Amino acid sequence: MRPTSLDGYIGQQHLVGEGAILRQMIDSGRVSSFILWGPPGVGKTTLAQIIAHTLKTPFYTLSAVTSGVKDVREVIERARSGRFFSEASPILFIDEIHRFSKSQQDSLLGAVEQGVVTLIGATTENPSFEVIRPLLSRCAVYVLKPLQNDDLLQLAHRAATEDVELRKKHITFEQTEALLRFSGGDARKLLNIMEMITDNADEVVVTNKLVTDRLQQNPLAYDKNGEVHYDIISAFIKSIRGSDPDAAIYWLARMIEGGEDPAFIARRLVISASEDIGLANPNALLLANAAFDTVMKIGWPEGRIPLAEATIYLATSPKSNSAYMAINEAMSFVKQTGNQPVPLHLRNAPTDLMEDLGYGKGYKYAHDYENHFVQQQFLPDGIDQRFWHAQPNAAEAKLRERMVQLWGERFKA
């Protein structure tokens, strides 16, 4: 079902539609290195193959899951030795480039910079966090979106009439809401569902009940990017927030058995430690972050153990969202009040002119005073706003008591 030209490519019109950036690059025959960022099943690999087919240039592919530095260097050397001067640079497509280690990504830099290969990377993770800065600076980043319902319907009808196996089934579409909902914008998932519901049948009428019943027959069905994915991670986080370690560990097991990316689970634990436990138990963030680092070092299957440890610890910890509420309130206030000037006594004065203008004048150095504290103004002029409010737990009660001792009435409310 993979098309070989943009005419058959479904979706991503903001990139490949008439006049769009990738369409212009392909039509001109000059493609520079870039990274495609988007969820699975939205056409990243297909788009890379279309580009190579259209430009009639050699196409090399590596999987970050199975390839090492040696494999990268071998492909680069083949590309270098097999290229003629008049040809466009061979395309090196790396799927799941976010899984490449720093050394693997470093090994690409020279070839990309010299034009030995045109790199096309595909990732489901934010490249800003997962791709090293030198490589990222040499590549544009294009964001692919989940396929819209119209795109999925177009693909479903095409599959029913053009796929070698499915066109034998005499498929008609009576209801498509469940098919689209469970596909979750993922073309690969859509085709898998169609294969499942037409298995062992010569004639198929697609209905919501048929799709739902067939999917429910597999209790371990887990779509890492569709509705079930989001439902299970939601249940996992809400179980931690609700202080139910048994439910939290159950949903963790569901994700592990379903093949979820351990980095995704670990990131959610770090977020939960900050958002839901927060200042009620600051050690939760340290342990969640340590679990993240440990999982990245040891991988599966042992990685399930630190994830389980962090999950139970977070679920059994006291809860507070005071830091989460404080930053949200502060950001809302900033949007309403704009860029208020920094008070002169808080400004830095690296030059004589700034000092003459009063920058830094009157600032009181806290360490020169008893208990390393002295009352002075830190908010912009005219602003006397409280953002952080201690919540009723032992840890924050101590923090609030200290603030009252230092600031008096300001923190009593």
* E strand or H helix at 311: helix 304-316
Q: Please tell me whether the peptide bond between 343 and the residue prior to it is cis, using omega within 30 degrees of 0.
A: no
Q: What integer is the mean pLDDT of 13-40? A: 90
H/E element holding 34? strand 34-37
CA 215 to chain centre: 26
Is residue 247 assigned to a domain?
yes
Cα–Cα distance, 29 to 384 (Å, whole number) = 60
In this structure, the answer to whether residues 48 and 129 fall within a common structural domain is yes
DSSP string, 383-398: ---------SSHHHHH
| Closest by Cα among 235, 139, 220, 152 to 191 | 152
CB burial of residue 61 (10 Å; 0-12, 13-18, 19+): middle
Is 374 contained in some domain?
yes
Above pLDDT 90, what percent of the chain? 23
Longest dimension (CA), the chain: 88
- Does 241 share its domain with 211? no
List all residues 6 or more positions away from 252 whose beta carbon is below 8 Å from its beta carbon. 236, 265, 304, 307, 308, 311
Beta strands in 74-139 (DSSP E): 91-95, 118-123
Which tokens belong to 91?
């395309």
- 104 in the same domain as 161: no
274 and 353 assigned to the same domain: no
359 has a pLDDT exceeding 70: yes
pLDDT value, residue 310: 94
138 and 11 in one domain? yes
> Is 287 a residue whose pLDDT tops 90?
yes
Considering the domain architecture, whether residues 120 and 188 belong to the same structural domain is answered as no
Residue 349 sits in a domain whose CATH number is 1.10.3710
Identify whether 250 is part of a domain. yes
Same domain, 179 and 136: no
The answer to whether residues 10 and 76 belong to one domain is yes
* CATH code, domain with 210: 1.10.8
Query: How many domains does one find in the chain?
Result: 4
What CA–CA distance (Å, rounded) separates 293 from 291? Answer: 5
The rounded mean pLDDT for the chain is 85
Mean pLDDT for the stretch of residues 286-313: 90
| pLDDT digit string, tens, across residues 222-256 | 455 555 567 788 889 998 998 888 889 988 988 88
Identify whether 1 is part of a domain.
Answer: no
> What confidence tier does 220 reach under pLDDT thresholds 50, 70, 90?
very low
Joined tokens for residue 229:
């994915």
DSSP helix/strand/coil, 4: coil
- Helix-helix angle 262-272:227-241, to 10 degrees: 40
User: How does 126-149 read in b/e, with b if 16+ C-beta sit within 10 Å?
Assistant: ebeebbbeebbeebeebebebbee
The residue range of the domain holding 268 is 227-316
| Position 76 in a domain | yes
pLDDT of residue 222: 47
Residue 322 lies inside a defined structural domain of this protein: no
Q: Is residue 329 part of a domain?
A: no
Q: Mark whether 308 and 353 lie in a shared domain.
A: no
- Cα separation, 381 vs 100, in Å, equals 49
**Shared domain check, 190 and 111:** no
List pLDDT tens digits, range 85-139: 556 688 899 988 888 888 888 888 988 988 888 999 998 888 887 888 889 989 9
Q: Which pTM does this prediction carry?
A: 0.54
